[in-house]
Amino acid sequence: MLLTDYFRSERDYAWDISRQCGVRHGVIRLPEDDKFDLTDHENWKTVYDKFIDFGIKPVVIEPMPNCVHDHIKAGDEKRDECIEKVIKMFPIMQKLDIGTICFNFMAYIGWLRTSSDIPERGGAVVTGFDEKDMPQVDASISSDKLWENYTYFIKAVIPYAEKYGIRLALHPDDPPRKNIGNVERILISADNIEKAVRGIVKSDMLGVTMCQANFYIMGEDLYKVIPRFADKIFFVHFRNTIGNISKFRETFHDNGSLEMARLMKLYKKCGIDVPIRVDHVPTMLGEKSNVAGYDALGRLFAIGYLKGIIDCCEQEL
């Protein structure tokens, strides 16, 4: 497994935490201001060089930038020009040797939690979801329309992903519920994800981000799902959780329902050797939360824990 971490494009405290923990490869979020042109190599190079100078080699783009992806998911009048922009990202990524992009297909609402101050071990706090507290949503889209928009997008971009050798790693919906109000969701079961990555086009460039906790919350058996998608897992979100589709919360990486070391052994047994990063960490004592789930101290523990498990699985006696 290739140890990575998630980096915003402007240097912050988390950059130093990761670098000091020994992370050398980055999952990077591209700048979201209007000045950044997704289709311009020089714009990318400026961001890329900042990471290289810091000692981090970018290997994954996450997420697909919302400025283009939102229109593609909604299938609105800007969809085609946005797809053109996505296609123009691929040769730039190839030149910079960034081989993977993580994308989702949740329209209008991204990952959703209903609270961010649930007590975890020793007074740390985590985010969680409870269907009783589901927010009101103004937007509306049907699952049929989403499948149609997904199919349109995949058919348009896969030939170029193949031409430039870019792997598209589809992230499951979070939470993987049938709907949030009138916004339906489609990537909510292993069968639906199978259909999305094998049933529409056949391509070695189309696969899955194995966000472990989401598959668990779907009610899937990870010990079946990971082998089933072995050839399609392009990227792993190493995440733990407690609960079910109605009510769940994040945990410290060693304190949830998923058996993290066993899962790592399973990836190895299945020959899965891809970028991996920790996901959704607790906010710890004294930390002012910048983005709940993505604070620095929780990552410090999570990265060390992940690194230890990787070493333990890779070093033979």
Active site residues: 171, 211, 237, 279-280, 294
- The two tokens of residue 269 are 């047994």
**Which CB atom, from 86 or from 102, has the smaller least distance to Mn ion?**
102
Verify binding: residue 277, Mn ion, rule CB under 5 A. Answer: no
237 binds Mn ion per the rule CB under 5 A? yes
- Per DSSP bridges, beta strands 2-7 and 115-119 are unpaired
Between 157 and 196, how does the x/- string for binding to Mn ion read (CB under 5 A)?
Answer: ----------------------------------------
Give the binding range for Mn ion (CB under 5 A) out of 34-42, 54-62, 205-213, 282-290: 205-213
Buried/exposed code over 291-314 (b: 16+ C-beta within 10 A; e: otherwise): ebbbbbbbbbbbbebbbebbeebe
Helices (H), the chain: 13-20, 41-54, 66-74, 79-95, 143-164, 190-198, 212-218, 222-228, 260-269, 296-314
Q: Which is nearer to Mn ion, 96 or 211 (CB)?
A: 211
Give min distance, CB of 94 to Mn ion, in A.
Answer: 25
- Is 232 a residue that touches Mn ion (CB under 5 A)? no
Best CA proximity match to 286, nearest among 100, 124, 87: 124
Q: CB 113 → Mn ion: shortest distance, Å?
A: 12
Instruction: Decide: is 98 part of the binding site for Mn ion (CB under 5 A).
Output: no
Decide: is 211 part of the binding site for Mn ion (CB under 5 A): yes
Tokens of 182: 């009138």
Is the Cβ of residue 96 or residue 128 nearer to Mn ion in the bound state?
128
Residue closest to Mn ion (Cβ): 211
Q: How far apart are CA 177 and CA 291, in angstroms?
A: 23
Question: Of 278 and 297, which CB lies nearer to Mn ion in the complex structure?
Answer: 278
Shortest separation between residue 241's beta carbon and Mn ion, angstroms = 11
Asked if 130 and 114 touch (Cβ cutoff 8 Å), the reply is: yes
CB 27 within 8 A of CB 101: no
Q: Which positions touch Mn ion (CB under 5 A)? A: 211, 237, 279
